[in-house]
Amino acid sequence: MNVKFSTWSVPSLAKIASIIVIGSLLGSLAAQSPQRLSKRYTVGKNVRVELRNVSGTIEVESWNRDEIRLSATIESPNAHVVPKQLDSSLVIDVMSDNKARGDVGDINFKLQVPISSSVDLETRRGQISVSNLRGASVRAHVSSEGDITLSNIVATQVIAQNTIGNIFFDGEFSRGGTYEFKSTKGDITIRIPGNSDFRMVATSPARKIKLGDFWNDGFKTQDGRKYVGDVGDGRSSVSVTNFNGSITFMRR
Amino acid sequence: MNCENCQELIHDFLDGSISRIDEIALNTHLEQCLDCDSVRHDLESILGYCRTHRGEYAAPPNTAALWLRIRNVIEAETPTMAESIEPRKSIFSSLMSRSWQLSLPQLVSSVIAIVVLVSLVTVVGIKRWSVTTNSQLEAAVTEGNSDVNDRVFQRNQVINYWNQRVELNKARWSPQMRETFDRNMAVIDQAVSDSMNELNRNPHDDIAEQMLNESLNDKLALLKEFSDL
């Protein structure tokens, strides 16, 4: 039996080894790099977006188109994101999409939606920011920790709640609207026009309630921990609760 | 003639005022009716006895005196009857209209007895009232606290259930997620503890109670939301 042996010089072997090593490195890096998801959905003006994330940031902003653009960076290759478009809503439920998959890591979302959209956003952990919306409702719920920033919002219902983290609302209170802000440990800042009319209940056992220009003699207080009263004709209802942080009202 | 007519005629016969015709009819009937004949014999016996012993029952020795005593008895009873006809006086008015004749020692003894009785009643009454008021207050405070404690206990039972579920799943979480959960749970537990302390200081503190309820709700919500992970 004739066996042929090739002769390899040391430099050749070194080159081959280098190629293999670099290839492996690139392969593993590619595997480790986050996946990117980008989709577009044609929708009506008054669309409703529901997003239930586990961990990661959520950023929503309006744009001047009747469509939703969804971008997501997905940390874990095991994670699945399967948005569902229903009649007049888009539902992204990371929790349901990844049942029994273990830890799916962070998924960071960015959504561009029509300006009159309603959004219902949830995450167990991570920041939520919503800007420039004039829809029916905005709900931002962080189960544990993460800041919530709502900028330039005009909606008849706004709910923002977290456990640890700051809440910032910058917008307007609509007639007959309801607004609820709640945190266990963080600062809550509400920035609204000076001519806003609302009935307010603000509670902070830490006694850090600053009503600023919105203070008037009609407010009733219980030793500084709770303020109840009307600003203007009290046409909208505002409830602010903070266990261990400040509540600040600012003029826009 | 029947027996009824016969017995009516017997009285006339015994009085001697019966007519000749009735007497014949009566005799005829008496010969035939033994019962009526027996009645006639009884009546004749009674009348005979009376005639025989007439005059033996003498009148009272002093009839005038007897009548006088009778009149006195009647007159003595007349005021009592009048009183019974009058409208009844109340106990208070009858008591007030009553008078006693007391000697000085009796009067002094009565005054001392009244003073001692009133003092005893007052002391006992005040003691009982204060005990009742204190116990009511204590009961109210205890009830307030126990009410809160009961609710916390009940809520904690539900929380424990969800906590067990979370502990089962915790191993699957990333270290970052575990740290986040523990940190947030500690913050909520602190809020619960602060509210409980505030309620212990002042059981009627509405704000502390509201905060306690909300922090317990938040704790439960956090556990439920993380139990799905």
- Could you report the per-residue pLDDT of A55-108, keeping only the tens digit for each? 999 999 999 999 999 999 998 888 889 999 988 899 999 989 988 777 889 999
Q: Assess contact for A148 and A142: CB atoms under 8 A.
A: yes
CB-neighbour burial class of residue A137 (10 A; exposed 0-12, middle 13-18, buried 19+): middle
Tell how many helices (H) and how many strands (E) occur in chain A: 2, 19
ipTM: 0.82
Average pLDDT, chain A: 90
Q: Given an 8 Å threshold on Cβ–Cβ distance, is A55 in contact with B222? A: no
Q: Assess contact for A202 and A193: CB atoms under 8 A.
A: no
Q: Given an 8 Å threshold on Cβ–Cβ distance, is A184 in contact with B218? A: yes
Cα B17 to chain centroid, rounded: 72
| CA separation for the pair A142, A163 (Å, rounded) | 7
User: Which residue has better confidence, A3 or A54?
Assistant: A54
**Is A154 a residue whose pLDDT tops 90?**
yes
Position A81: which residue type?
V
Residue-wise pLDDT tens digits, B172-227 = 888 899 999 999 999 999 999 999 999 989 988 989 999 999 999 999 999 999 98
- In sequence order, the β-bridge partners of residue A42 are A67
What per-residue confidence (pLDDT) applies to B138?
A: 45
| CA separation for the pair A202, A218 (Å, rounded) | 14
Q: Write out the two tokens for A229.
A: 């009263």
Which of B181, B194, B208 is opposite residue A144, by nearest beta carbon? Answer: B181
Residue-wise pLDDT tens digits, A6-58 = 666 777 767 777 787 777 676 665 555 678 999 999 999 899 999 999 999 99
Q: Looking at beta carbons, which residues of chain A come within 8 Å of B184? A: 143-145, 163-164, 184
Q: Which residues contact A151 (CB under 8 A, 6 or more apart)?
A: A129, A130, A131, A132, A168, A170, A171
Sequential DSSP letters for A119-175: EEEEEEES-EEEEEE-SSEEEEEESSB--EEEEEEEEEEEEEE-SBS-EEEEEEEEE
Question: pLDDT band at B168, cuts 50/70/90?
Answer: confident
Q: Given an 8 Å threshold on Cβ–Cβ distance, is B226 in contact with A105? A: no
Q: Write out the two tokens for A110.
A: 């960015």
What per-residue confidence (pLDDT) applies to A30?
A: 57
How many Cα atoms occupy the beta-carbon half-sphere of B229 within 13 Å? 27
Q: Looking at beta carbons, which residues of chain A come within 8 Å of B210? A: 203
User: Which residue has better confidence, A202 or B38?
Assistant: A202
**Is A224 a residue whose pLDDT tops 50?**
yes
What per-residue confidence (pLDDT) applies to B137?
A: 42
- Those residues of chain B whose CB sits closer than 8 Å to some CB in chain A are 172-174, 176-177, 180-181, 183-184, 187-188, 190-191, 194-195, 198, 206-208, 210-211, 214-215, 218, 221-222, 225-226, 228-229
| CA separation for the pair A153, A159 (Å, rounded) | 12
Q: Given an 8 Å threshold on Cβ–Cβ distance, is B229 in contact with A164? A: no
| Nearest Cα to Cα of residue A124 among B216, B217, B224, B165 | B224
A100 lies within 8 A of chain B by CB: no
Mode of pairing for the β-strands spanning A247-251 and A209-210: parallel
**Is B60 a residue whose pLDDT tops 60?**
no
**Is B21 a residue whose pLDDT tops 70?**
yes
Position A247: which residue type?
I
Q: Given an 8 Å threshold on Cβ–Cβ distance, is A163 in contact with B226? A: no
Cα A221 to chain centroid, rounded: 33
A145 lies within 8 A of chain B by CB: yes
**Is A2 a residue whose pLDDT tops 70?**
no
**Is A169 a residue whose pLDDT tops 70?**
yes
What per-residue confidence (pLDDT) applies to B141?
A: 43
- A148-157, B81-90, B117-126: least confidently modelled range: B81-90
**Is B134 a residue whose pLDDT tops 50?**
no
Mode of pairing for the β-strands spanning A198-203 and A107-114: unpaired
DSSP A59: E
**Is A170 a residue whose pLDDT tops 90?**
yes
User: What value does the mean pLDDT take over residues B8-26?
Assistant: 82
Average pLDDT, chain B: 79
